[in-house]
Amino acid sequence: MKKMQQLLMVLLIPFFALSISACAEKYTEGKQYTKVNETVSAKVEVREYFSFYCPHCLRFEPFMETVKKGLPEGVKFERNHVDFLRAASPKIQAMLTKSVVVAEQLGLDDKLVGAIFNYIQIQKAVITSEKDIRNIFVLNGVDGDKFDKLMKSFSVNSKAKSMKKNQDIMAKKGALKGVPTIIINGKYRINTQALDKNNFEQDYQNLITHLLTLK
């Protein structure tokens, strides 16, 4: 049995080499992806820059959930809320960035991100203060006092500042001009318009897998 397994691996090596080569030939810099940084991030990640005020981001949510589930083991999916849309003040958008971090720390990010999207874009309600965000969380089963404590915590504020820093760096480099934008390992931005429209989901997943192998 062991010899059979060894023989099988020997036979499969050319196939794996061919698959990697095929991806390298199919996906080219400047077409399906753009290099936006000279170095990769310290952590292996797929980072989505998005806004609750972006209708396309809302439509993209179910697809991004599929992408997240299909990521290789050990690859982190990071939501990075931005504050540059004109639909609300930077102050309100910064509160929403913090709320994403709170949702993550509660382990309810998918549910609560969906609830905020629903409040803003489906119900057409307006967020005017942190109290409005708090009410969304409470209506979705979160203890109000716990929300208050987390919004003031060092860990949440630190992560929110990190998101803002990532946003500003990518905007300065010209890599972030709108949302949603997906950047792999802090270095490669996906150009969705160049992907196969007849097999978009699979092509997208394959491109992510390929970009994760690049340095």
- pLDDT tens, the chain, 215 aa long: 544 444 444 444 444 444 444 455 689 999 999 999 999 999 999 999 999 999 999 999 999 999 999 999 999 999 999 999 999 999 999 999 999 999 999 999 999 999 999 999 999 999 999 999 999 999 999 999 999 999 999 999 999 999 999 999 999 999 999 999 999 999 999 999 999 999 999 999 999 999 999 99
All structural domains of the chain, each given as residue ranges with its CATH number in brackets, are: 2-213 (3.40.30.10)
Token digits for 32? 């399906």
φ, ψ for residue 191, nearest 5 deg = -105, 90
Decide if 101 contacts 146 (C-beta within 8 A): no
